[in-house]
Amino acid sequence: MADIESEAPPTQPVLKAEAIPEFKKLDAPPPAARETSFIEKMKKTGRNIVVFYGSQTGTAEEFANRLAKDAQRYGMKGMAADPEEYDMSELSRLTEIDNSLAIFSMATYGEGDPTDNAQDFYDWLQEGGAELGGVNFTVFALGNKTYEHYNAMGKYVDKRLEELGAKRVFDLGMGDDDGNLEEDFVSWREQFWPAMCEHFGVEATGEESSIRQYELKVHVDISPSKVYTGELGRLKSFEQQKPPFDAKNPFLAPVTVNRKLNRAGTEGRRVFRYESGDHVAVYPTNDSALVNRLGEILGVDLDTVISLNNLDEESNKKHPFPCPSTYRTALTHYLDITHPPRTNVLYELAQYATDGQDQENMRKMASSSAEGKALYQSFVLDSCRNILAVLEDLPSLRPPIDHLCELLPRLQARYYSIASSSKVPRPASLVARCTQTASTSAPSWWNAGNNGHKATVPMYVRKSQFRLPFKASSPVIMVGPGTGIAPFMGFIQERGWLKEQGKDVGETTMYFGCRHKAEDFLYQEELENFEKTGVLTKLNVAFSRDQAHKVIYVQHILKKNKEELWRQIHTDNAHIYICGDARNMARDVQNAFYEIAEELGGMTRTQATDYIKKLMTKGRYSQDVWS
C-alpha cells in the first residue's frame, strides 16, 4: 500500500492595485484550427485508407498504426486516426475517394463499454441518422474472453455500420488478450491484406524493407528548459503544477507511507480529491539498471538530446513521445522496455541482424506460420524476454537506438482501486501485490519510505461506476479476495463515517479470501476492528490453503451463508459488489449466486441467470474485475 497526499495551492500574496497603461492592440492572426475533416486530410495527402482506433491502453492504437503502415506495402496509402479528433459524421463522404476503406481497431473497456476516445463515436452510431451506403469497412476487435461482454464494442461497430448501409469487405477479427492477442491480430492481418488486394484489384509491392515513420534530429545546443524530463504533456508541468489533473497532466503526489498490509502501520493526514470506488492511474518508471544496460549494449550516450519528428507533416501525432528529450528520459519514462516485444518490433529490427539465421528467425516469428508462432511463443513469451534480453541473446542484433525508440510501445499508466474514503481525513491508499521477475521491475515508489527516499508519483484520479448505494440504509454485500479488498476498505470507512453522522446504515457484510491467514490476510487488524465496533455487520473469511485436505474459497462461504444472503438480496434489496480476478473468482462467485437463487428462489438456471442480470441492470450487482 502506498498512501498518497495532496497539497493545497500556495496562498497568493495580496498586491496593491495599480493603474494599467493603455497599449495599442496588435492585429494577431487567429490560431490555426485543428483539421477535423479526415476526408479533406485524406484527399490532401493522397490517402485512401483510414484506420480509426478506440484505445484505452494503447494496444488498439498500436495495431491501427501497424495497419496504416502496412498499406504502403500493398500499393495503398493509409493513416491512423483518433475518432475523438475528427468529425465522424463525415464517414459517409468516404465514397468521394476512390478505392477507399475504413478500418476500425476497437477495444472494449470496462463492462462492454467503448474506450474514452471512442465514446463520442459510439454515441454518434447510436443516434442512427447516418447513411453509409457505399462505404467500405472492416473491424478488428480487441477484448478478453474472461469478461462477460467479450469484444462488445468491436461487435457493435461491425453490426451497426452494416445496419447504416456500409459494406463489410472483410470479416470481423476477434482478438483475445486472455489468449494471445498478438497472434490473433497477425493471423487476421495476414488474411486481410491479400483479400484487400483482390477486392481493389491491386498487387502487393513486394517491399519488405522497413518503412520509417519518424526521422531523428539530434539537438547539439539546446537549453535544458526546453527539454522534456518525464512530463506527459505540458513542458515543466511537474515543476509548476496546475489543475485540472488528468492523463496528460498528472499530479505529482508524494508517497507518505509504504507498509505491508498484513501488519499494522501508521497513517498520514491529508487526502486527494476522489470518491470511494474510484481508481488512481499511476505512471511507472523503468528501472535505471535496465535503461543503462540498453545504452551500454547499443553503444550510445543516453544523455543525447533528440527529437523524433513525424515524416508525415499532416499528421496530428508529431512525435512518438514528448520531444525533445534524451534517450535516457524516453527509455525511463515514455517507452515500455519490460514487456515482451510484439512481432512487428522483431520484424522491423530483423534487418539490423548481421547473422542470417537471427534475421530469418526474427522474420519468421512475425509470420502467422505454425513454426513462426511456436518460435515466438517459446523464445519471447514463455521465456518472458523483454527487448534487452532479446538484444543480449542475439549478439548480431544491434539496431540504431532511434529506430528502437520509434518501435517500442508507450509505457502505460497502471490503475489501482483506492483503498480509502475521502470522507475520512487520511491520504488516498493504494493496494498492490509486489512481484518481481527477471524481465520486469516494480514501480520505483514501491520501496519509498523503506530506504529513506521520499518518492513522488505522477498520478490522476479516474472516475468509476463502482459506487455505494444512494440510500445508506440499503444493505451492502462485498466480495473481494486478495487485493480485491481495496475499494471495500473505502466503502467500509464511508459506512462507518455515515454511522458517525447519525445516518441509518444498512447491513455491511464483507467476504474476504486469501491463501494463508498468517501471511496473506490484508488489513486484518482494521477489518477485525471494524467488525468489533459494528461498522462491519459481519466479516466472512476463507483461507484456501490453511486446511490440510479441503480448499475453501469465498464462493464456498457464500453458499454456506445462502439463507442470510438470499434474505439480504431478495427481501432487503441489498447491493452486491465483486472485486478481483475476472478469470476464475468473479465467474465462480456469480455461479454461486445463481445456485442460491435456484435453491432458495425456486428458479431454473435460466431464471436465476435472468434474475442476476436484472440486478446488474438495476445497479445492484456491480463488478470491478481484472484479468
Q: Are 293 and 388 in contact (CB under 8 A)?
A: yes
In whole angstroms, what is the distance from residue 418 CA to residue 490 CA?
7
Is residue 15 left, alpha or beta, with left meaning phi > 0 and alpha meaning psi from -120 to 50?
Answer: beta
Residues 6+ apart with CB under 8 A from 40: none
Judged by DSSP in three states, 101 sits in strand
Q: What is the torsion angle, in degrees rounded to the nearest 10, for the CA atoms of residue 34, residue 50, residue 141 and residue 480?
A: -10
In whole angstroms, what is the distance from residue 568 CA to residue 573 CA?
6
In whole angstroms, what is the distance from residue 206 CA to residue 221 CA?
42
Q: Which three cell numbers stand for residue 567?
A: 434474505
Residues 6+ apart with CB under 8 A from 601: 566, 570, 607, 608, 611
Angle at Cα 145 formed by Cα 139 and Cα 150, nearest 5°?
Answer: 50
CA atoms within 13 A on the CB side of 318: 6
Phi, psi of 476 (to 5 degrees): -130, 130
In whole angstroms, what is the distance from residue 142 CA to residue 174 CA?
6
In whole angstroms, what is the distance from residue 411 CA to residue 62 CA?
12
Q: Are 437 and 535 in contact (CB under 8 A)?
A: no
Q: What is the torsion angle, in degrees rounded to the nearest 10, for the CA atoms of residue 245, residue 251, residue 256 and residue 261?
A: 60
b/e 120-157 (16+ beta carbons within 10 angstroms → b) = ebbebbeeeebebeebbbbbbbbbbebbbbbbbbbbbb
Known catalytic residues are 417, 579, 624, 626
Phi, psi of 599 (to 5 degrees): -70, -50
The H-or-E segment that residue 253 falls in is strand 251-258
Residues 6+ apart with CB under 8 A from 195: 169, 170
Rg of the chain over Cα atoms, rounded to whole angstroms, equals 27
Q: Which three cell numbers stand for residue 256?
A: 507518505
C-alpha separations of 533 from 420, 426, 429, 478 in Å: 18, 20, 22, 18
In whole angstroms, what is the distance from residue 467 CA to residue 330 CA?
37
In whole angstroms, what is the distance from residue 285 CA to residue 305 CA?
19
Which one, of 55, 51, 53, 59, lies nearest residue 77 by Cα?
Answer: 51
Is residue 136 left, alpha or beta, with left meaning phi > 0 and alpha meaning psi from -120 to 50?
Answer: beta
Cell 524476454 locates to: 385
